[in-house]
Chain A
Amino acid sequence: MAKHEKSESESSQYSDLSSEEESDTSENDECSEEEKSENDFNTVKIPESDDSSDDNQSVASNNEEDEGVVEDYANSDVEMEKTQLTVRNDLEPEKTSGNIAKIDEYEYDSSDEEDLRNTIGNIPVEWYRDYKHIGYDLEGNKIVKPKSKDEMDEFLSKIDDPYYWRTVKDKLTGQNVILTDDDAELIKRIKKAHYADANYDPYPEFVDFFTYEKMIHPVTNHPETKASFIPSLGEKRAISRLVAKIKRKKHLDLPEVKKPKDDRFNFHYDIWSSENAPSKRLLRYIPAPKMKLPTHAESYNPPPEYLFTKEEEEDWKNTEPEERKQDFMPQKYQRLRHVPLYPNFVRERFERCLDLYLCPRAKKMRANVNPEDLIPVLPKPRDLQPFPTMLSLVYIGHKAAVRSISIEPKGQFFISGSDDCTVKVWEILTGRCIKTFTFENSVSCVSWCPNSEKNICIVSVNKCLYVINIGVGDKIVTNNTDNLFKQLIHEDEKVKDDSVVNWQIISEDKEEAKSKAWKEGIRVIIKHRYEIKQLTWHYGGDYFAAVMPEGGNKHSVIIHQLSKKRSSMPFQRQKAPIQRVLFHPSRPFLFAAYQRHVRIYNLAKQELTKKLMCNCKNLSSIAIHPKGDNLIIGSYDLRLSWFDLDLSNKPYKTLRYHKKAIRQVAFHPKYPLFASASDDGTVVVTHGMVYDDLTQNALIVPVKVLRGHKTIGAEGGVLDCSFHPLQPWVFSAGADSTIRLYA
């Protein structure tokens, strides 16, 4: 119901207001334009404004009536205006002079239009002072100024003209207008501060529209809206807000006083005034490393060497930003004011922020190691002399890589086998080639018999093994050797062709071809089924072994006995091919080297005594210390392992000083030296001292790196090396077809 009441009160207010307006406007007969226009638009207001002549009853009636009547009313309004005008003008004075306007001004003065007798608009009329005309009429013709009276005429008319006092000059048209009685009356009333309209009743009788008495009919016939039955949510909120305010005991009208904010950044006190004990957490706090300090290159005017060259600049631009060594490009500016803003400044700072909170931190002990401390302290090589120090002789003669060399036990000669299908015998001291044996295939291995009583060499050429009486040196020995072979022939002639090996003994007095071979020195030819890779003598000089890795599990090693022309295959079943074999210098042991390990067999007991694990993948060579307790093994994977047979089946020391595969290793029979030849073209001579005292480990000191051989592509560098039996000299055979003696 509240709403209903409200609307009622509003309407009553409205009516009051309108009545007030009435009173205001009615004062002015000529209403202002605004009001007029308002009247036009707001039809309801019409009776209240301009036409004040109507009495209050009409207003009331108008209110009572519905809006449909309004149009008729407007029409009646115009009519009334006209009637009024006629009434006003009936008292028109006589026109005494031509100066007085002939046209009734009210004719043009409609409620909504300007005075259009003169079209100059709203400008000061003085501007036309010097012209004959005063403006233009609607057709555009000049309005000629009426003749102005001179002072005399003025004076006369003052006396003569009875209407002089009510004559007024219209500025626009320049004509005189005589006010009517009504006008005069109006002016008088205004002067007296009365209502302009004499008929206007400022205090009409109050009509109590909404009476206290109950009427039979409702004031309006509208059905009540639904909203009027529902309590207003907005009002409810407003009320609750008010209630809240009252509850908070705040003055309802005053704006809320905001309490001053606690300043976030108020630093006006000393937080470190009381020192607390630092928490335990901080003890393991890892502070972030500080930013890197700038170098000379970062200067705006760096020394010229820090600036990039064109290639460096290109390089810098082409690398990814993360991979750049410097995150900026050094630049030189002539003047400080030329230095531009560094475009990555914000980014760098941001990345620093990221590092600070995202980068995992860990304490890392920086090893501040002096590299000198890492180098082991070894006895000086000078104190470990003698050992070969320099190249003293080069034996030139072979035309292809020299595969193998072997030195005479007395140390006067040596033989070499080469890829050019020859075996040459050299005198060591003179460097002269004494003999050359030519074969039909490249020579893979040569070996001189360790027994100095015999002058025998064995040479392997492809699948054949030649036993040769070299025929150099002491003639008696040569003859004795020959006699030995002759005995062989006499002993028996039975030769099995179907066996794995085929012994062919050459006698002096047979066919020509063979006798030629005899003359050359070849005494026995042993044919094998497979290619022979290595030959090795037993220290006695009677047995020798041939290794054929292709021979499979049964035929890979064959041991020959020269004095009995017998061959035996020690291994019946092998799981892997044997690469090398070696006889123990004093005991009946046979070392069989496989690719990854070495097995030691006791030949007397016919059993496996030990297995050495080499720590390498591809074994290449094996050599034993003359005392028989230490072994060295060279491998294609750069390692040289020293085994102490009493100590362990694992290497006592592994040396990795070669940069390429090791081809051959050798012990010196007298001096504590061993050498290793490698594909990198070097022979490293190492001092390897073995003590009799079992508690003391061997002393291993490299003493010399011998260079000289050229490395030739796939052939390799140094293919074989061997020590002189008496002197501290080492021979090396290279792929560059030379043999070198270092002394």
Chain B
Amino acid sequence: MGRMKKKGESGAKKAYITRRKAVQKLQVSLKDFRRLCILKGIYPVEPKNKSKVGGGSSQNKTYYLLSDIQFLSHEPILWKFWEFKIFMRKMSRARGRNDREALENVRSNQPFYKLDNIVKERYPTFIDALRDIDDALSMCFLYSRFSKSKYLHVELINICRRLTVEFMHYVIETRSLRKVFISIKGYYYQAEIKGQTITWVVPHQFNLGNFHDADYKVMRTFTEFYVTLLGFVTFKLYTSSNLYYPPKILTIKSEALENDEDDFNEQISDQIAALNQPLLKNSIQIDEDINPDEFDEPDLKQDNQLTFHQLVKFQKLFEGFKFFINREVPRESLVFVIRSFGGLVSWEKTLFPGATFDENDESITHQIVDRDDISNKYLNRYYIQPQWVFDCVNARTLLPVEDYFIGAVLPPHLSPFVEDKEGEYVPPEKIALNEGRSLNLAKEQSNEENEEESEEEESEDEKEIPTNDVKNNQSKEEKEDQEKIKMEVKAGKALKEDKKKIEEREKAEEKRLAVMMIPKKKRRLYDKIMFGKKRKSREVEKLVEKRKVFENESKKLKRQKTK
């Protein structure tokens, strides 16, 4: 006979560990534990049976896998944390003694950790890293907008800025941008890189200032990791598509700046940040991958994905166009979008370095303006609002410019990320777009009105005819009635039964009866599904209703105006 098993010595109880125990085991502070978890990507897990793990108590605790914690205990970075602790102690001692030299000495030996190994460990292949880069990108874009403060170090902010610019350059070079969206939260971009769909969000162009509703330390730790990840990804991307890293652009060293190396470097970095010049390529061709996305898995393409030719056409959407951006328009996002689709862009020279042509250039085809009107206009170019660019990209074609003219009431800006599923609400604009016609509310209303009027007329006509008939009939009948007031038997009308309807009704009833017989086990699931469906349909109905109300109101307004 084997030994008796004791309770709590094997199984789930041993597989999980609470956070408190984990911190104790690792001999770090909670702060360090948090940092370690962030860097190593260790997350709490939900045990299948909490009461078994908790030894019968149902207290809500955070559990980690014991193996994860054991894995953490072998992490070299842990030593760095301890070193840092000692460093802080040394610093405070030197400071307390007012020993400046010692302070200097200690400070110069400040320990720091590198996260290269962790990146490699968490993402063993490049594709893994690409798959998980959404958050990293969003975070870096956000961090690059912060202003320096006590807790937000310039070093990290600058590197975020650099990396984001480099990433955008790569997207421009490879023309891998697919979708863009202006939301009230910021700009959403979606690119397809190496077959991976990458989405990120960039806040609107404002200085974010200091934030008080978030813990900067957590954000910083995340950013440290993300920066490392993004850095290596960018390097790999650049080298794999034959670009220099760090990016190089064609620059002419002006004489004035020849001597001043720093100024020159600054100027170059500004030029690069302007996103307005193509990057230099390595002269040595590496035939590693020319267009890996296109040829990798042509069979797996879904319906909404583009064929190769469509893609090439899409990537050259703005090719041959010259855009000029007015100064009230957010420069960076527009330059990024336009250049990703092959357009040429410029802006006022005083606004930002890197402008390539002036406003008075006759070859400009589009000028992007975000005002109600502008005084000096050139005849040979379109003055459009920035939404046109974004809508064109989402529609994958050049939309008619008329709806987006300066001062025009814009058609709604729709999210390209919404996929129309069955039973979900699709705004009429989107339906129109899918069908290939433009639907501008303001315009359409006027059209509609005309149509409506005609329709009304028609309908009136239509109405008139039957009403006349009815009236005629009625009058005839009345006459007849008047003629024969005596007892009579009216001819009964045969009740026509629509066979289809009956069939449908029967089927519905059959279904209802069958539903009654769903066993209890499946009943709840069925009810849940049906509940969700109903709720969804209710929401759709609500939206449809609101749309109707809005349309009626706008019609009324129009009518009042015309009157």
Shortest CB distance B190–A (Å): 8
Q: Which A residues from 293 to 313 make CB contacts under 8 A with B?
A: 293-296, 298-306, 309
Contacts of B415 in A (CB 8 A): 293-296, 298-299
Question: Do the beta carbons of B516 and A345 come within 8 Å of each other?
Answer: no
**Contact, CB under 8 Å: A350 / B214:** yes
Chain A contacts for B430, CB-based, 8 A: 296
Q: Is the CB of B45 within 8 A of A362?
A: yes
Residues of B within 8 A of A276 (CB): 120, 124
Evaluate contact between A299 and B413: CB separation under 8 angstroms: yes
Q: In the bound complex, how far is the Cα of B235 from the Cα of A197, in angstroms?
A: 83
CB of B284 closer than 8 Å to a CB of A: no
Asked, given contacts A276-B124, A336-B329, A356-B135, whether A298 binds B185 with beta carbons under 8 Å apart, the answer is yes
- A657 near B: Cβ within 8 Å? yes
Q: Determine if B132 and A287 form an interchain contact, defined as CB atoms under 8 angstroms apart.
A: yes
Give complex CA distance A272, B129 in Å: 10
Judged by a CB distance under 8 angstroms, whether A98 is at the interface is no
Q: Residue on A with the closest CB to B211?
A: A346
| A272 touching B45, Cβ below 8 Å | no
Q: Which single residue of chain B is at the shortest CB-CB distance from A382?
A: B506
Residue of B nearest to A258 (CB): B108
Beta-carbon contact of B526 and A371 below 8 Å: yes
Q: How far is the CB of B309 from chain A (nearest CB, A)?
A: 27
Is A367 part of the contact surface with B, judged by Cβ < 8 Å?
Answer: yes
User: Which of A281, A655, A703 is B67 in contact with, Cβ under 8 Å?
Assistant: A281
Q: Flag A233-276 by CB within 8 Å of B: 1 or 0 each.
A: 00000000100000000000000001000101101111110011
Tell me if A346 and B213 are in contact (CB < 8 A).
Answer: yes
Do the beta carbons of B231 and A304 come within 8 Å of each other?
Answer: no
A348 to B, closest residue via Cβ = B185
Contacts of A360 in B (CB 8 A): 43-46, 62-63
What is the CA–CA distance of A259 and B98 in the complex, to the nearest angstrom? 25
B456 to chain A, nearest CB (A): 23
CB distance from B231 to the nearest CB of A (A): 3
Among A305-355, those with CB < 8 Å from B are: 305-306, 309, 328, 330-331, 333-337, 339-342, 344-350, 352-354
A271, A275, A333, A349: which contacts B232 (Cβ < 8 A)? A271
How far apart sit A267 and B113, CA to CA, in the bound complex (Å)? Answer: 14
Is residue A358 contacting chain B, with contact meaning CB distance below 8 A? yes
Q: Which of B274-282, B447-455, B543-551 forms contacts with chain A?
A: B543-551
A390 interface residue (CB < 8 Å to B) = no
A300 contacts which of B215, B413, B510 (Cβ < 8 Å)? Answer: B413
Q: Given A293-B188, A299-B413, A275–B124 Cβ distance below 8 Å?
A: yes
B362 within 8 A of A: no
Is B330's CB within 8 Å of the partner chain A?
Answer: yes
8 A Cβ contacts from A351-393 to B: 352-354, 356-362, 367, 369, 371, 374-378, 380-382
A342 to B239 Cα, complex, angstroms = 36
| Interface 0/1 of B112-138, CB less than 8 Å to A | 111010011110111001011011001
Interface status of A701 (Cβ within 8 A of chain B): yes
Do residues A294 and B232 form an inter-chain contact, with CB atoms below 8 A? no
Closest to A656 in B: B520
* Contact among A268, A301, A305, A704 for B413, CB-based, below 8 A: A301
The residue of chain B having its C-beta at the shortest distance from the C-beta of A349 within the complex is B142
Known interface pairs A281-B67, A347-B211; A290-B543 also in contact (CB < 8 Å)? no
Question: What string of 1s and 0s marks CB contacts (under 8 Å) between B62-76 and chain A?
Answer: 110001100100000
Q: Given the complex, which residues of B lie within 8 Å of A701, measured CB to CB?
A: 513, 517
Partner of A357, one of B43, B232, B512: B43
Once bound together, how far apart are the Cα atoms of A340 and B207, in whole Å? 11
Contacts of B142 in A (CB 8 A): 345-346, 349
Cβ-defined contact, A291 with B135, below 8 A: yes
Size of chain B's interface in residues, with CB distance under 8 A? 112
List, in ascending order, chain B residues with CB within 8 A of A354's CB: 218
Q: How far is the CA of A374 from the CA of B516 in the complex (A)?
A: 11
- Complex formed: what's the CA distance from A295 to B114 in Å? 39
Does A694 reach chain B (CB closer than 8 Å)? no
- Least CB distance from A678 to B in Å reads 12
Decide: A267 and B510 in contact? CB cutoff 8 A.
Answer: no
Q: Chain B contacts of A367 at CB under 8 A?
A: 525
A302:B412 contact, CB within 8 angstroms: yes
- The CA-CA distance from A288 to B517 in the complex, in Å, is 40
Q: Are B518 and A376 in contact (CB under 8 A)?
A: yes
Contact B204 A339 (CB under 8 A): yes
- The reply on A521 being an interface residue by CB < 8 A is no
List of A residues within 8 angstroms of B164 by Cβ: none
Indicate if the CB atoms of A374 and B387 lie closer than 8 Å. Answer: no
Taking CB atoms, residues of chain B closer than 8 Å to A689 are: none
> How many A-B contacts at CB < 8 Å in the complex?
270
A42 within 8 A of B: no
CB distance from A327 to the nearest CB of B (A): 9
Contact B43 A336 (CB under 8 A): no
**Least Cβ distance of B373 to chain A in Å?**
12
Nearest CB to that of A335 among chain B residues? Answer: B370
Stretch at the interface among B176-184, B256-264, B298-306, B491-499: B176-184
Chain A residues, CB < 8 A from B436: none
Beta-carbon contact of A301 and B44 below 8 Å: no
Q: Answer yes or no: A103 CB below 8 A from chain B CBs.
A: no
Asked whether any CB of chain A lies closer than 8 Å to the CB of B308, the reply is no
A604 located at the interface, meaning its Cβ lies under 8 Å from any Cβ of chain B in the complex = no
| Chain B contacts for A140, CB-based, 8 A | none
Say how far A361's CB is from chain B's closest CB, in angstroms: 5
Q: How far is the CB of A274 from chain B (nearest CB, A)?
A: 9
**A299 lies within 8 A of B181 (CB):** yes
B365 in the interface, Cβ–Cβ < 8 Å? no
B367 on the A face (CB < 8 A)? no
Least CB separation from A293: chain B residue:
B417
Instruction: Let me know if B219 and A353 touch, CB within 8 A.
Output: yes
Question: Is A279 interfacial (CB 8 A cutoff)?
Answer: yes
A124 at the interface (CB under 8 A from B): no
Asked whether B547 lies within 8 Å of A271 as measured between CB atoms, the reply is no
Asked if B517 and A376 make an inter-chain contact with CB atoms under 8 angstroms apart, the answer reads yes
Q: Beyond A264-B112, A381-B510, is A271–B550 a contact (Cβ under 8 Å)?
A: no
Residues in A whose Cβ lies below 8 Å from that of B114: 262, 264
Q: Taking each of A241, A303, A358, which has the highest tally of chain B beta carbons within 10 Å of its own beta carbon?
A: A303
B144 at the interface (CB under 8 A from A): no
Instruction: Mark out the residues of chain B between 14 and 45 whose CB falls within 8 Å of any chain A CB in the assembled complex.
Output: 34, 37-38, 41-45
Which residue of the partner chain B has the closest CB to A267?
A: B231
The listed residue with most B CB atoms (<10 A of its CB), out of A279, A304, A702, is A304
Any chain B CB within 8 A of the CB of A230? no
A381 surroundings in chain B (CB, below 8 A): 509-510, 513
Counting CB contacts under 8 A, is A215 at the interface?
A: no
A291:B219 contact, CB within 8 angstroms = no
Contact A328 B429 (CB under 8 A): no
Most buried by A among B126, B134, B183: B183
Q: Contact: A349 with B512, CB < 8 Å?
A: no
* Neighbouring B residues of A294 by C-beta, 8 Å: 181, 183, 185, 188, 415, 417
A231 located at the interface, meaning its Cβ lies under 8 Å from any Cβ of chain B in the complex: no
Whole-angstrom distance between the alpha carbons of A226 and B460 in the complex?
A: 121
Q: A335-B370, A367-B525 are known contacts. Are A291 and B414 too (CB-CB below 8 A)?
A: no
B131 partner residues in chain A, CB cutoff 8 A = 287
Which of A269, A345, A361 gathers most chain B CB within 10 Å? A345
Which of B201, B328, B412, B513 is A299 in contact with, Cβ under 8 Å? B412
Q: A342 vs B515: C-alpha distance in the bound complex, in angstroms?
A: 48
Q: Is B191 an interface residue (CB 8 A)?
A: no
Structural contact, A657 and B44, CB atoms closer than 8 A: no
Q: Are B34 and A702 in contact (CB under 8 A)?
A: no
9 interchain residue pairs of minimum CB distance = A267-B231, A350-B214, A293-B417, A657-B516, A362-B46, A305-B547, A341-B206, A305-B546, A278-B124
A-B contact pairs, 11 of them (CB 8 A): A267-B234, A288-B43, A291-B135, A298-B183, A303-B414, A347-B211, A350-B211, A356-B222, A358-B62, A361-B45, A702-B517
Apart from A264-B112, A293-B417, A299-B412, what are 12 other A-B pairs with CB-CB below 8 Å?
Answer: A270-B236, A271-B119, A271-B232, A275-B124, A275-B125, A298-B184, A337-B329, A339-B182, A341-B208, A345-B203, A361-B44, A382-B506
